[in-house]
A and B are shown apart, each in its own frame.
Chain A
Amino acid sequence: MNINDKAFAGNRGDKVRSDCYVELELKHSGGLEILIKSKVMAMFGSEIEQLVKQFADFYNIKNATILMEDSGALPFVQAARLEAAYKSLTSDSRPFIFKTPTQQNLATSYEKSRISRLYLPGNYPSLMINAGLHQPDGIILDLEDAVAPAKKFEASFLVRNALLWLDFYGAEKMVRINQVPRGLDDLEHIVGYGVNLILVPKCESADQILLVNQQIDKLKKERNSLQEIWLMPIIESALGVVKAYEIATSAENIVAMAIGLEDYTADLGTRRTEDGKESFFARSQVVNACRAAGIQPIDSVFSDVNDMEGLARNVQNSKALGFDGMGCIHPRQIKVIHENFAPEIAEIEKAKKIVNAFIEASEKGLGVVSLGSKMIDAPVVKRAQKVIDQALSIGLIEADWRKEFCN
């Protein structure tokens, strides 16, 4: 028997939760043998067996031994593990869409607020299930640094299934692919499956962005997908910093650009400090490039998840430098990031007047918005609306804030 006829995917062990482990051995005869061990056997044993059978049917697997060791995984996780095991043995490219995707492919806008984006390791289902409840602006399913090299293959199926079946509770669906060129292969698993935004790590040239977009366009066409996909390049090297403006302006669908300071400081031959002097130039350069390109500048993550005061200082500093948002690696950071990026009172008051004037003008059918003797441009209204949205989202103002303008 060929050793390549046996494959594994997923995780098992006492500490594993909401995940499963699959062992698949394809055979030439002997029929189908299904072994299921599950800690939710009494409640879901037959459903699990049904899914395994459906999988075997789907790929027309007639002779095989399939072991599923389940630690309370949801069906989309089980399906991903089964598919990953099978795909590592065959060249069959059909995705195992085991039921109708529960999530609509919701579009997000170019200027959507992206203050917080929560990184989740792409091969860790238990962290994914409730992530959206913590209300980050975006959730990043990470295929890059947060996934061990040996697990990258199976992670891509899990990430795809999460895009299809996991409720993000309104957060923008983001995926960080691997560095180009490897990252181009990742696109196969995410384009057309509901991803809103793709993070392109260690970006150093406009060419990398073009390659990503070419592949996205090709896949969208193949899959008849009309969904807009935004890009957020991440600058993580000295060269990337130098080329920041070139990258920021390399494509129409770039909505934001981030800086990744762990890799950047390593590239400089220094290390991250709390006051961040070593990255002042790079951060300013990225902010400047983004503003020049009309996109959102996004700061690096703050890595000490226990230090909320340090995080707050870091966010205030970030806001002062001109950043619009920041990555986070733990849901507890989200609130602190939002609170500290929050617009100040004077900013909100001004925004209220502008937005109110705009609404009044539209109600009266006026094409031109003016406040006092000043004409207001559309981008100013847009920015003010963003301030209002932000203030609303963290409860700084009430939904009926316009009441004060009624008399």
Chain B
Amino acid sequence: MSTKYIGEMVKNAAGRFVPVEVNGEQQIPFQGVGKYRPSGRRYGPPLVSCADFPADGNKLVSNLKEALIKAGLKDGMTISTHHHFRNGDLIANQIFDIAHELGVKNLRWFPSASFPCHEPLIKYLEDGTINRIEGSMNGALGRFASEGRMKGVGVLRSHGGRYQAVQDGEVQIDIAVIAAPTADAFGNANGVDGAAACGLLGFALADSQFAHKVIVVTDNLVPFPCIPWQIQGNYVDFTVKVDKVGDPEKIVSGTTAVTKSPDRLLIAELTAQFCEEAELIYDGFSYQAGAGGTSLSIGIYFDEILKRKNWKARFVRAGSNQYPVKMLEEGRVDYILDGQTFDLEGVRSMRENPNHVNTSPFTSYNYHGKGNFASMVDVVILGATEVDVNFNANVVTHSDGVLLHGIGGWQNCLFGKTVILPVPLFRDRIPVIIDEVTTLCGPGELIDVIVTERGIAINPRRTDLLEKLKDSKLPIKTIEQLKEEAEAICGKPAKPEFEDEVIAIVKWVDGTVLDSIRKVKK
């Protein structure tokens, strides 16, 4: 039976048509940034008593299959996993192999993100073991969903939105499987030690707190206590020891390499110059820059500016890697607030340095909390597949309409004080700046500056930045000028054609529905 029933569609506050019911659940259309207020109480998993758990703290069961059976795996359940191991994850596929073997059907897979290594799960999406993915769908999984082949409707959430959905009870996790580089038999776990060390386990925090059953799987079992306990065993039902939990080479790279692409370096340089001229960089400022080619280079240029001025950043929000670590160790930043670690230097630093702090989507991104630090970051550097003339941006689909990326922390970071998207004006022949984004992921009112190799556009709402840069030698243009320049070079792209069928929805950070993604026409 297919649950992919789409009834009524309504126009939300962003002017996008979204379904009012998805996978049998009522949805709230996007109401505008900061408009929707939740009510009621946080979701709570059932109460338990420690009397029902071994007093010696040994929760080990013989294997993952036994753990899943003991956790009550059955049809229609929600199973969560996490992407700390990125493309080196070995556990998620095993879970569904076991489910398939047991004849369990109609599962909802709720990963914090999926990777190309999860492509083998397509067969379970086809045979009904898995009904749908609620989480990022990249590469082959994205294409599969875009062709309308997934039985249920996909739901894309940001990292913060995932925490919010779990906390609010919008998604109730039946079984969370937390793959951990190091753990004890009680279930305490961390990401800083062991062969599969990945730094931190923040994406699994919500799952440990709110799932009905929690299984910790590790290949590095240490005697109690496993310190630091990034995941606390008091939330954990079962522990499992396996031979290998992840593929180290695919988890973190030995070192992150700076881009050699002259075009990306040019964009990075323009971005850094812009930030300096706009006085966004000051003694004690903070920024977020990821580990992608351009972002990494921007971080390095920022560091050069700090060095030159003899300034210090208060904190760097990361995606950590060797470059912020170097800044931390050389005293040009006080703290790294780390969401995930991209290389071995990042892992080492997190293990050794108390000022390299592991964060979770709760502390950094959760919109239904009493604040989060995403909005305290001075400069936020993000990517996009498309940006439109109203500064709206897309990160999940390509201009041909195919779902190819997850949202990650992208939406959450839009709340930073100045949000800058350094993007090429076009990729091959595909303009990045267009009339209207294919899929809306971020409302333009939150996006301040677009930096391309052919010019910089400032959102007209940011009159302060326009004023500061009015005599600048930087190539400041309007976003319409940039769009026209792209079209003069590439031609005007035709819009992709879609069927009516909605294959996935994009949630906003508050759980409302921001946009729908439709099946691509063959």
Chain A residues near B (Cβ < 8 Å): 17-18, 39-47, 71-75, 102, 126, 129-130, 133-134, 167, 330-332
Could you tell me how many residues of chain B have their Cβ less than 8 Å away from some Cβ of chain A? 23
B45 close to chain A: CB less than 8 A: no
In the bound assembly, the distance between CA atoms of A74 and B488 in angstroms comes to 11
B116 to chain A: closest CB distance in Å? Answer: 15
B426 to chain A: closest CB distance in Å? Answer: 9
* Residues of B483-522 whose CB lies within 8 A of A: 488-491, 493-494, 496-497, 520
Q: Are A44 and B494 in contact (CB under 8 A)?
A: yes
A52 to chain B: closest CB distance in Å? Answer: 14
**Stretch touching chain A among B77-85, B230-238, B259-267:** B259-267
In the bound assembly, the distance between CA atoms of A18 and B488 in angstroms comes to 16
* Residues of B397-431 whose CB lies within 8 A of A: 399-401, 427-430
Of all chain A residues, the one with the shortest Cβ separation from B401 is A42
Of all chain A residues, the one with the shortest Cβ separation from B434 is A43
Q: Are B453 and A42 in contact (CB under 8 A)?
A: no
Q: Are A134 and B266 in contact (CB under 8 A)?
A: yes
In the bound assembly, the distance between CA atoms of A175 and B96 in angstroms comes to 60
Report A-chain residues with C-beta under 8 Å of the C-beta of B427. Answer: 72
Q: Are A43 and B428 in contact (CB under 8 A)?
A: no
> Which listed residue (B454, B488, B493, B520) contacts A44, Cβ 8 A?
B493
Of all chain B residues, the one with the shortest Cβ separation from A51 is B491
4 A-B pairs closest in CB distance: A72-B428, A43-B493, A331-B262, A42-B400
Q: Are A72 and B430 in contact (CB under 8 A)?
A: yes
Report A-chain residues with C-beta under 8 Å of the C-beta of B489. Answer: 74, 129, 167
Report B-chain residues with C-beta under 8 Å of the C-beta of A130. Answer: 262-263, 266, 453
Known: A74-B429, A134-B262. A43 touches B454 (CB 8 A): no
A169 to chain B: closest CB distance in Å? Answer: 9
Report A-chain residues with C-beta under 8 Å of the C-beta of B262. Answer: 130, 134, 330-332
Q: Are B429 and A72 in contact (CB under 8 A)?
A: yes
Report A-chain residues with C-beta under 8 Å of the C-beta of B399. Answer: 42-43
Report A-chain residues with C-beta under 8 Å of the C-beta of B496. Answer: 42-43
In the bound assembly, the distance between CA atoms of A145 and B233 in angstroms comes to 65
Report A-chain residues with C-beta under 8 Å of the C-beta of B491. Answer: 44, 47, 75
Report B-chain residues with C-beta under 8 Å of the C-beta of A330. Answer: 262
> Which listed residue (B428, B454, B488, B497) contacts A71, Cβ 8 A?
B428
Q: Are A43 and B430 in contact (CB under 8 A)?
A: yes
In the bound assembly, the distance between CA atoms of A18 and B489 in angstroms comes to 12
Known: A75-B491, A133-B453, A133-B454. A39 touches B266 (CB 8 A): no
In the bound assembly, the distance between CA atoms of A102 and B485 in angstroms comes to 13
In the bound assembly, the distance between CA atoms of A102 and B428 in angstroms comes to 19
Q: Are B428 and A46 in contact (CB under 8 A)?
A: no
Q: Are B263 and A133 in contact (CB under 8 A)?
A: yes
Report B-chain residues with C-beta under 8 Å of the C-beta of A72. Answer: 427-430
Known: A18-B429, A332-B265. A43 touches B453 (CB 8 A): no
- Identify which of A102, A130, A330 gathers the most chain B CB atoms within 10 Å of its CB: A130
B377 to chain A: closest CB distance in Å? Answer: 30
- Identify which of A126, A133, A330, A331 gathers the most chain B CB atoms within 10 Å of its CB: A133
Q: Are A46 and B429 in contact (CB under 8 A)?
A: no
Of all chain B residues, the one with the shortest Cβ separation from A129 is B489
> Which listed residue (A40, A46, A134) contacts B430, Cβ 8 A?
A40
Q: Are B490 and A74 in contact (CB under 8 A)?
A: yes
Could you write out 14 A-B pairs with CB less than 8 Å apart? A39-B428, A40-B493, A41-B400, A42-B494, A42-B520, A43-B429, A43-B493, A43-B496, A44-B490, A46-B494, A73-B429, A75-B491, A102-B488, A130-B262
> Which listed residue (A40, A45, A134) contacts B428, Cβ 8 A?
A40
In the bound assembly, the distance between CA atoms of A41 and B494 in angstroms comes to 9
In the bound assembly, the distance between CA atoms of A318 and B488 in angstroms comes to 40
Report B-chain residues with C-beta under 8 Å of the C-beta of A40. Answer: 400, 428-430, 493
Contact with A along B451-490 (1 / 0, CB 8 A): 0011000000000000000000000000000000000111
Q: Are A43 and B400 in contact (CB under 8 A)?
A: yes
In the bound assembly, the distance between CA atoms of A47 and B488 in angstroms comes to 14
Report B-chain residues with C-beta under 8 Å of the C-beta of A331. Answer: 262, 266
In the bound assembly, the distance between CA atoms of A102 and B260 in angstroms comes to 30
B390 to chain A: closest CB distance in Å? Answer: 20
In the bound assembly, the distance between CA atoms of A146 and B399 in angstroms comes to 34
Known: A18-B429, A72-B429, A130-B453. A45 touches B266 (CB 8 A): no
In the bound assembly, the distance between CA atoms of A284 and B467 in angstroms comes to 52
Known: A43-B496, A44-B491, A331-B262. A17 touches B428 (CB 8 A): yes
A77 to chain B: closest CB distance in Å? Answer: 9
In the bound assembly, the distance between CA atoms of A313 and B263 in angstroms comes to 25
Report A-chain residues with C-beta under 8 Å of the C-beta of B453. Answer: 130, 133
In the bound assembly, the distance between CA atoms of A75 and B494 in angstroms comes to 15
Of all chain B residues, the one with the shortest Cβ separation from A133 is B453
Q: Are A45 and B494 in contact (CB under 8 A)?
A: yes
Report A-chain residues with C-beta under 8 Å of the C-beta of B400. Answer: 40-43
Contacts beyond the supplied A43-B429, A44-B493, A133-B454: 7 A-B pairs with Cβ under 8 Å? A18-B428, A39-B428, A40-B493, A47-B491, A73-B429, A133-B453, A332-B262
In the bound assembly, the distance between CA atoms of A157 and B520 in angstroms comes to 37
A176 to chain B: closest CB distance in Å? Answer: 20
B85 to chain A: closest CB distance in Å? Answer: 26
A209 to chain B: closest CB distance in Å? Answer: 33
In the bound assembly, the distance between CA atoms of A267 and B491 in angstroms comes to 48
Report A-chain residues with C-beta under 8 Å of the C-beta of B266. Answer: 130, 133-134, 331
In the bound assembly, the distance between CA atoms of A18 and B427 in angstroms comes to 9
A365 to chain B: closest CB distance in Å? Answer: 34
In the bound assembly, the distance between CA atoms of A362 and B494 in angstroms comes to 56
Report A-chain residues with C-beta under 8 Å of the C-beta of B490. Answer: 44, 74
In the bound assembly, the distance between CA atoms of A54 and B130 in angstroms comes to 50
Of all chain A residues, the one with the shortest Cβ separation from B485 is A167
A308 to chain B: closest CB distance in Å? Answer: 12
Report B-chain residues with C-beta under 8 Å of the C-beta of A73. Answer: 428-429
